[in-house]
Amino acid sequence: MIGKAYLNITLAQVVGSVSRPNPPEEEMMSDPSRTLRRLLTAFAAVTVALTVAGCGGSESPEKSAAPSEPAAVAPSFPVTVEHLHGSTTVDKAPERIVTIGLSDHEPVLALGYKPVGVTDWFERKPFTDWPWAKDAWGGTEPEILGLREDGVKVEKLVALKPDLIFAMYSGIQKDNYDQLSQIAPVIAQPKDHDPYAAPWQDYTLLAGKALGVEQKAKDLIQNIADRFAQVRKDNPQWGTLTAVAADSFKAGQYSAFQKGDPKSAFLADLGFQIPEEITKKAGQSNVAEFGSEGLNILEVDRLVWLTTGTEPHGRIKNDAVYKELKVAKEGRDLFLTYQDPPIGAALSFNTVLSIPYAIDQVVPLIKK
């Protein structure tokens, strides 16, 4: 039970301040100045002041949301799971799950549950229309609790009356974890990893434990491990090659994703090696950032660009420094977008649900 409280929550507090997942398809927006402004302020400390009413007096959300559907495998409760901010006990099968991590809904969906509330990373409408997740949603549309840039609207979260909150891929800080724990049990990010840098297997297993279906989570993980193993077997030469995922948010500014980031982690699972230089330069962030003068760090065997739309492609290719790189001259670079087709989004999510789609799409393109 929460008494009336005023939560002055910054975006950095809600989703962490040490890393920055990729921006959504903002170049599709009609206002260029707004696009640039949102790109430059991604994961900055945008204050979200929220008045939260007591749980007992919460009103129903504007849109009806169907309760979660339990997995086919009989769950076992109670369960206690450990995470970065301690441990959480889930006494019984949850019926109203909320996910505030940017991709947390996907392992939850894969395990047979439909969240009633989610955070929208890429502003795709309808939210449930991603090709790898559409069938799992089955027509159910969750409440959108907030966009990536704006953080979670806590008043919407409270109104949903959740009985379990996932905040795994969120970078949630301890004070906000404690506040949310007054609403419902919270599953924070995995231990022993920087925010947004835990392997997809850890997120899947953590969700499986919390939902009482740990063995199902292990089975899903093994199925994908087998798929990656087959790709590596079919392409043994990739094991000796370097690869990295990169982005360019605006002219003259570039980012390369370190090995812990989902996008480069996907390439590593295909067999490629992620240069330690990039991971070292990134430090505690998920990206190494640099200008045109630093583009030589992208001199790898396979370079995968992930961008918001196709506009950056020509701009990158025409950079005077980039044109001189061997990876560019020899055509060993691959340009993908986050949407239309959503291959980049599948790589960014890099979840137990999106990985099979990403494998099907990316492997043939890298082989070309």
Q: What is the total count of domains within the chain?
A: 2
Chain segment 227-264, per-residue pLDDT in tens: 999 999 999 999 999 999 999 988 999 999 999 899 99
If asked whether residues 211 and 239 sit together in one domain, one would say: no
Q: Annotate 134-190 with DSSP letters as a single string.
A: HHHHTT---EEEEETTT---HHHHHHT--SEEE-STT---HHHHHHHTTTS-EE-PP
Question: Distance (Å, rounded) from C-alpha 248 to C-alpha 308?
Answer: 9
Task: Give yes or no for residue 156 having a pLDDT over 60.
Answer: yes
pLDDT band (50, 70, 90) for residue 321:
very high
If asked whether residues 167 and 261 sit together in one domain, one would say: no
Among residues 94, 90, 147, 92, the alpha carbon closest in space to that of 118 is found at 147
Residue 270 counted as domain residue: yes
Element (H, E) at 363: helix 355-367
Q: Quote the domain boundaries for residue 323.
A: 235-337
Percent of the chain whose pLDDT exceeds 70: 80
User: Mean of the per-residue pLDDT values for the chain?
Assistant: 83
Chain segment 52-107, per-residue pLDDT in tens: 333 333 333 333 334 444 445 578 899 999 999 999 999 999 999 999 999 999 99
What token pair was written down for 283?
């430090």
pLDDT band (50, 70, 90) for residue 21:
low
Phi-psi region of 123 (alpha: psi -120 to 50; beta: other; left: phi over 0): left
If asked whether residues 104 and 178 sit together in one domain, one would say: yes
Residue 368 counted as domain residue: no
Chain segment 141-155, per-residue pLDDT in tens: 999 999 877 789 999
**At 254, phi and psi to the nearest 5?**
-135, 155
What token pair was written down for 191?
């231990």
Give 37's contacts (C-beta < 8 A, 6+ positions apart): none
In this structure, what CATH number is given to the domain that contains residue 217?
Answer: 3.40.50.1980
End-to-end CA distance of the chain: 57
**At 67, phi and psi to the nearest 5?**
-60, 160
Question: Distance (Å, rounded) from C-alpha 275 to C-alpha 278?
Answer: 6
Instruction: Identify the residue whose tokens are 């196709």.
Output: 310
If asked whether residues 54 and 135 sit together in one domain, one would say: yes
pTM given for the model: 0.80
Task: Give yes or no for residue 37 having a pLDDT over 60.
Answer: no
